[in-house]
Amino acid sequence: MLSVSEAQQRILSHFEPVEAQTLPLEQSAGRVLAQDIFAAIDLPLFDNSAVDGFALHASDLERVVSAGSITLPVIADIPAGSSTEITLQSGQAARIMTGAPVPEGAEAVVMVEDTDFNDRAPGTPVPKNVTVYKPAKSNTNIRQRGEDMRTGTKVLSRGQRLRPQDLGLLAMLGVATVPVHRRPRLALLSSGDELIPLEATLTPGKVRDSNTYTLSAQAAQSGVEVVRLGVAADERLAVQSMLERAVAEGVDVIVSSAGVSVGAFDFIKDVVEEQGSLDFWKVNMRPGKPLAFGHYQDIPFFGLPGNPVSAFIGFEVFVRPALEKLGGAIPQPLPRQRARLAGPVNTDGRETYLRAVVTEENGTLVARLTGHQGSGNLLSLVQANALLIVPSGVKSLPANAEAEVWML
């Protein structure tokens, strides 16, 4: 049997990032950057005021300290958005607004609250004189050119998924079109004669195809475009024609659930093998021991187990990292933590993923299993906020033992 990490490594070796495209900035949220981004300008681009107040000359800063207050003529009014040509001399002040360029010669900005001119009603004209009450150090309330970043700074890295704040930074830098990877396309199919679509009436022996919904939503979380092929009957031809549709759709990867175990009607393995290659692995894990991976023609193919919880976990453990790599993202370590077990846990010695609720109690994380852990029982997964991982070779853990949890 393969270990989970061996299986993951083998799978990853079959994936390369899809090509890049250029998108308008406003369409690039959530997309994966295809190139490093460097600042083409300094930010801030000019020294500017961090407050509404009065710009003072260096010599006057010292005079406030010695005299306790000083009164100066106000020789200019500098609103945000203006550019100023003036040079402030000793003994002069200029009214200045937040974000406005600090004039030559100014050494600090004193905020209006520290002067006798505390009237900020819109339209208030500039006063003739201002009295400053509070000393300020050199550079106080001045946002220096380049203090955030200098021209040439690497600000975002290839392989990063763009977040809202990243878009804001790109806009500040004037990056209107962004090199990102295109969204990978994934064909999803379910298989089994017992499966009926959501809209159909339940009849004896049938169950609703739920994996389509779970797995497409999981895929969408990795930025993948999903082509839903629906349910293939347990017949060779049905399976084959569905896989042909995946080829016709030009997808980058195919994911199926069910029909890959050793049941008498499990045709998927045969069909994939005929038109490509298939490794059928027994992975040393629970749930989800049977995992098929291969290629249909030359499209990577995952055969996940059919049981809804196994399919979900199989996706997270094996498919998600592959989709991230396919989409150009740099793989991130899983958000794993340590938690204390509220009660004892027994396993069969395989690497086991149990559904648990993890809460913080008196400064430590405590994990409690949710409901019946059968691999078809979805409610216990729905009620969980974490998967508790018992490593392979460990058959039991007592209450209060520490174990790894993977927050969902």
CB of 257 to ligand AMP, least distance (A): 5
Tokens of 177: 């079109």
Q: Are 203 and 12 in contact (CB under 8 A)?
A: no
Q: Which is nearer to ligand AMP, 3 or 377 (CB)?
A: 377
**Alpha carbon distance 187, 256 (integer Å):** 8
Min dist. Cβ of residue 216 to Mg ion (A): 19
| Residue of this chain nearest to Mg ion (CB atom) | 192
Residues paired with 354 in a beta bridge: 388
User: Is-contact 404 389, C-beta < 8 A?
Assistant: yes
Would you say 159 or 259 has its CB closer to ligand AMP?
259
In degrees, rounded to 5, the angle at the alpha carbon of residue 6 between the alpha carbons of residues 226 and 186 is: 10
Q: Which two tokens stand for residue 151?
A: 């021209």
CB of 228 to ligand AMP, least distance (A): 11
Strand partners, 131: 71
The residue (of 190 and 347) whose beta carbon lies closer to ligand AMP is 190
CA dihedral for 148, 151, 152, 156, sign (positive or negative): positive
How far, in Å, CA of 283 to CA of 353, rounded? 13
Number of residues that bind ligand AMP (CB under 6 A): 19
190 binds, among Mg ion, ligand AMP, none (CB under 5 to 8 A by kind): ligand AMP
Burial class (CB in 10 A: 0-12, 13-18, 19+), 311: buried
Q: What is the DSSP string of 349-386?
A: SSEEEEEEEEEEETTEEEEEE-S---TT--HHHHT-SE
Q: Tell me: does residue 192 bind ligand AMP (CB under 6 A).
A: yes
Q: Does 288 bind ligand AMP (CB under 6 A)?
A: no
Q: Does 40 bind ligand AMP (CB under 6 A)?
A: no
Does residue number 263 form part of the binding site for ligand AMP (CB under 6 A)? yes
Residues 380-399 that bind Mg ion (CB under 5 A): none
What does the alpha-carbon distance between residue 231 and residue 196 come to, in Å, rounded to a whole number?
A: 8
Taking CB atoms, the residue at the shortest distance from ligand AMP is: 306
**Binding site partner of 257, from ligand AMP, Mg ion, none, Cβ cut-off 5-8 A by kind:** ligand AMP
The site string for Mg ion over 221-260 (x = CB under 5 A, - otherwise) reads -------------------------------------xx-
Instruction: Restricting to residues 176-195, name those near Mg ion by CB under 5 A.
Output: 192
By the rule CB under 6 A, 377 interacts with ligand AMP: no
Nearest-approach distance from CB 163 to Mg ion, in angstroms: 40
- The residue among 211 and 370 lying less far from ligand AMP, judged by its C-beta, is 211
What distances in angstroms separate CA 189 from CA 146, 193, 206, 236, 245, one per listed residue?
A: 53, 13, 17, 14, 11
- 258 scored as a contact of ligand AMP (CB under 6 A): yes
- Nearest distance from C-beta of residue 305 to ligand AMP, angstroms: 6
- Counting contacts by CB under 6 A, is residue 211 touching ligand AMP? yes
Cβ 376 to ligand AMP shortest distance, Å: 6
Binding window for ligand AMP (CB under 6 A); candidates: 3-11, 111-119, 164-172, 259-267: 259-267
Binder of ligand AMP out of 49, 92, 256, 257 (CB under 6 A):
257
Give the residue with the Cβ less far from ligand AMP, 193 or 279.
193
| Phi (first) and psi of residue 35, to 5 degrees | -140, 155
* Burial annotation 21-54 (CB, 10 A radius, 16+ → b, else e): eebebeebeebbbbeebebeebbbeebbbebbbb
Task: Count CB atoms within 10 A of the CB of residue 220.
Answer: 13
Task: Please report, as ranges, the residues that interact with ligand AMP according to CB under 6 A.
Answer: 190, 192, 194-195, 207, 209-212, 257-259, 261, 263, 305-308, 376
Task: Please report, as ranges, the residues that interact with Mg ion according to CB under 5 A.
Answer: 192, 258-259
